[in-house]
Amino acid sequence: MLTLACIAAAASLAQSPPVTLDSLLHEMADRTAVARLPVPAYTCRQFSSYDRKSVTPDDPAGWFANGDVNQYLRVEEAPAPTADNAKATRKEWVMADMDGPGAIVRIWSANPKGNLRVYLDNSTTPVIEGPMTDWLSGKAAVPAPLSHELSKGWNLYLPIPYAKHCKITSDADGFYYQINYRTYPTVTAVESLTTGSLAAASGLIARTGGSLSVPHPKTAPARPTESIAPGSTMEKQLPPGPMAVSLVEVLLDAADLQQATRSTVLSAEFDGEQTIWCPVGDFFGSGVGVNPFADCYRAVDSAMRCIWVMPYQRTGKVTLHNLGAEPVRAKVNIQATRWTWDDRSMHFHAAWRYEYPIHTKAGAGTADWNYIEIKGRGVYLGDNLAVMNPSPIWWGEGDEKVYVDGEKFPSHFGTGTEDYYGYAWCWPEPFQNPFHAQPRCDGWKATKKPSNYGHTTVTRVRALDAIPFTSSFKFDMEAWHWRETDVAYAATTYFYARPGATTNREPDPKSAASAIPQPPPLPPPYTIAGAIECESMKIVAKSDGLPTEVQELDLSENDRWSNETQLWVKGRKIGDFVELEIPAPGAGPVSVTVHATRSWDYGVVQFYVNGKAAGGPVDFFSGRAGLVRVSGPIDLGAHAPADGMLILRAEVVGGNEKSQGSKSFFGLDCLVLK
């Protein structure tokens, strides 16, 4: 009977309409589709540039290794004939290579380079070819929001179906990447993407992006109308099923509204199972406080609302619990519509975990911090992380690790917490998109410069990159900080599951009711006596398009950067340079000392002052992956100012063979003139 059932299922799949670009775009925009087990079934996995020294948790140094760049499957020689040489070739770095039928559903990079090429069904002619920066920023065939750069993260959400095989390459190396993809059963009919089908779908691509960005309905009055005393609840019984909740809207007010977003908890029961227990701020993606943003499922402004579809067969109930010490005022609006319950229908779940303090190491992974473990059958749909960081230094160097159906090694192994959430370089700038957002990041406001101090909330929801599981699911995030300190994590996870699913997350009223930890005031920044800060100097010349930025650096008590910042120069090749103008009053010669940085992906730099070489080349490679150190003083000799100025030139002249990435980055801390 089992064999006959399998044969029948395979026959049904073979006769079903094929998976196409159009069908995937319709699925992306259909918020009800994910509430049922997917047909056709699929697995979701990820290729990434994670450090290949990460092999087993039995080797902590390798497991938490941080050289998450310039890691590929292989390097190939591809034909690149020219008018002068018909046999010419080019190097292509292979990021992904998998058999179909399947579909690419997300591509991310922190620093896309070269020409992106996507080869389908073993063809030697790519269906997508062009600058990776264009394809991942909305400048090519796919406009925002399905292709965009936000907070220094580059993203492409165009579904790319393929029938037999897919290979993705770039003709440059030295970049970070993540690629999420689906694999369908072998009998599934899939129509591979073509240049023609992509062009024909341009209107549908635009409409899909527009539908994902449509503002959510607002129905609550301007002010909350009901009071919930400490220890009390507000309960909303739902109409008899089968139904599906289509809107939950909460308007909240309190003397301490920030605390109320954590100590007021939303719970829900469907068909006798409690599937939601979460503080309201975290549930709606805001984290601590009311932080305006919107994605394809949630929106926060004066109210907090979501349009997750929440089916139930018989009964449903939604409750607000005031676990705080003060009364809160609330208004809850819930809308539900008819639902056809079947053996593919699933309940919606939201679970919450909080921990404080998490004591971190400096410049190393501390532990794999578990978001959730699930037993049962369902689809993982996303999460958000609310962090309190008492240091201005980056808290989220850790990688996500996702294990599906008992995997021994994670099928999703990431490159950094911010990379998982679709931005990059720990950039503290709020952003929003239908699939990911950073609603809160206090650092810049608190320190008046780029910083990750204070409270941060990041969130990601999944559409085509949702992760089905048939028996179990586990999500870990490395706790990896550049400073030894105590941080707070609050993770909310969202998923659908068939009735009877269980998790390792129980209600935690004690944590929800506890006072939200606040970061202590920061001491004045450390400075080197007489320092002229490089990040404050005028850049008078640099290589065309060379990226530079101010970077926070305060990684340990032993390595201190003046003003705790540097000018970070993201060199791409030998010859890249930057020239800085240095005020130097007086006519007599002055001695020039530069303080710089050594890191695992830094290059060999030659300094010049007023056009003349100053000392020999300096190798700024730190010695190993994950290690960042101050350079100490580097004597550049005595030089006479011209018109009260010195011009310092720093030029990449090489790269240590052990350095990673482009081997061309460097960082300048400050100068001291005497």
Highest mean pLDDT among 210-214, 375-379, 581-585: 375-379
- Return d(Cα 532, Cα 593) in angstroms, integer: 10
pLDDT at 365 over 50: yes
Say whether pLDDT at 1 is over 50: no
Model confidence at 586: pLDDT above 80? no
Place of tokens 């120069």: 569
- Reported as a pLDDT band with limits 50, 70 and 90, residue 520 is very high
d(CA 145, CA 279): 29
CA distance to 577, 596, 663, per residue, from 622 (Å):
20, 12, 12
Amino acid at 246: S
* Kind plus residue range of the DSSP H or E element containing 595: strand 590-598
Q: And the tokens for 270?
A: 């469907």
Using 50, 70 and 90 to split pLDDT, how confident is the model at 626?
confident
Spatial distance between the Cα atoms of 150 and 424, rounded to a whole number of angstroms = 9
Q: Alpha carbon 599 to chain centroid distance?
A: 23
- Burial string for 150-185 (b: 16+ CB within 10 Å, else e) reads bbbbbbbbbbbbbbebbbbbbbbbbbbbbbbbbbbe
Backbone dihedral region for residue 637 (phi beyond 0: left; psi -120 to 50: alpha; all else: beta):
left
CA distance 265 to 481: 30
Determine the Cα–Cα distance for residues 404 and 56; give it in Å rounded to an integer.
Answer: 17
pLDDT classification of 653: cutoffs 50, 70, 90: very high
The C-alpha atoms of residue 493 and residue 191 are separated, in whole angstroms, by 33
At 611, the amino acid letter reads G
Distances (CA, A) of 390 to 26, 346, 353, 453, 522: 44, 40, 20, 6, 8
Spatial distance between the Cα atoms of 668 and 672, rounded to a whole number of angstroms: 12
Would you say 194 and 161 are in contact if contact means Cβ atoms under 8 Å apart? no
- pLDDT, mean over the chain: 94
Q: What is the distance of C-alpha 404 from the center of its chain?
A: 20
Give the pLDDT confidence score for residue 2 in this predicted structure.
47
Torsion 480-481-482-485 (CA) sign: negative
Mean pLDDT of 209-237: 85
Cα–Cα distance for residue pair 661/67, rounded to 1 Å: 9
418, 396 in Cβ contact below 8 A?
Answer: yes
Helix, strand, coil share (%) of the chain residues, nearest 5: 10, 45, 45
Per-residue pLDDT reduced to its tens digit, 101-154:
999 999 999 999 999 999 999 999 999 999 999 999 999 999 999 999 999 999
Tens of pLDDT, residue by residue over 260-289, are: 999 999 999 999 999 999 999 999 999 999
Q: Residue 226 phi/psi, 5° resolution?
A: -120, 140
Q: In the chain, what are the domains?
A: 2-30+69-212 (2.60.120), 227-513 (2.60.120.1390), 531-673 (2.60.120.260)
Burial 290-326 (b: 16+ CB within 10 A, else e): bbebbbbbbbbeebbbbbbbbbbbeebebbbbbbbee
pLDDT at 5: 47
Cis? peptide before 357, omega within 30° of 0 = yes
Q: How many CB atoms lie within 10 A of CB 1?
A: 5
Q: Are 328 and 260 in contact (CB under 8 A)?
A: yes
157, two tokens: 């959400």
Rounded average pLDDT over 348-376:
97
Write out the two tokens for 59. Answer: 């080797």
Rounded to an integer, the average pLDDT of 21-43 is: 97
**Residue matched to tokens 């303090």:** 357
Cα–Cα distance list, 245 to 239, 320, 337, 497 (Å): 10, 16, 6, 16
Separation of alpha carbons 549 and 105, rounded Å: 31
pLDDT of residue 585: 81
Q: Does position 13 have pLDDT exceeding 60, yes or no?
A: no
Tokens of residue 585, six digits: 């009053």
The residue-averaged pLDDT of 303-318 equals: 97
Count CB neighbours of 197 within 10 A: 15
User: How far are the Cα atoms of 34, 179, 467, 469, 478 from residue 44, in angstroms, in the given order?
Assistant: 14, 10, 5, 9, 21
Count of CB atoms situated within 10 Å of the CB of 239: 12
How many other C-beta atoms can be found within 10 angstroms of the C-beta atom of residue 59?
Answer: 12
Measured distance CA(368)–CA(399) in Å, rounded: 9
The CB density around residue 496, as the number of other CB atoms within 10 Å, is: 26
Q: CB within 8 A of 590, min separation 6: which ones? A: 584, 638, 639, 640, 641, 646, 673, 674
In contact, 507 and 266? CB cutoff 8 Å: no
What is the enclosing helix (H) or strand (E) of 181?
strand 178-183
How does pLDDT run across 456-470, given as a tens digit for each residue? 999 999 999 999 999
Q: Compute CA distances 67 → 52, 409, 529, 585, whole Å.
A: 8, 18, 34, 43
CA distances from 356 to 263, 516, 623 (A): 15, 10, 34
For residues 116 and 130, is the Cβ–Cβ distance under 8 A?
A: yes
Question: Is residue 524 very low, low, confident or very high in pLDDT (cuts 50, 70, 90)?
Answer: confident
Residues 58-107 pLDDT 10s:
999 999 999 999 999 999 999 988 888 988 999 999 999 999 999 999 99
Q: Where are the beta strands (DSSP E) in 405-485?
A: 412-413, 431-432, 436-441, 454-461, 467-469, 472-481
311-346 pLDDT, tens digit each: 999 999 999 999 999 999 999 999 999 999 999 999
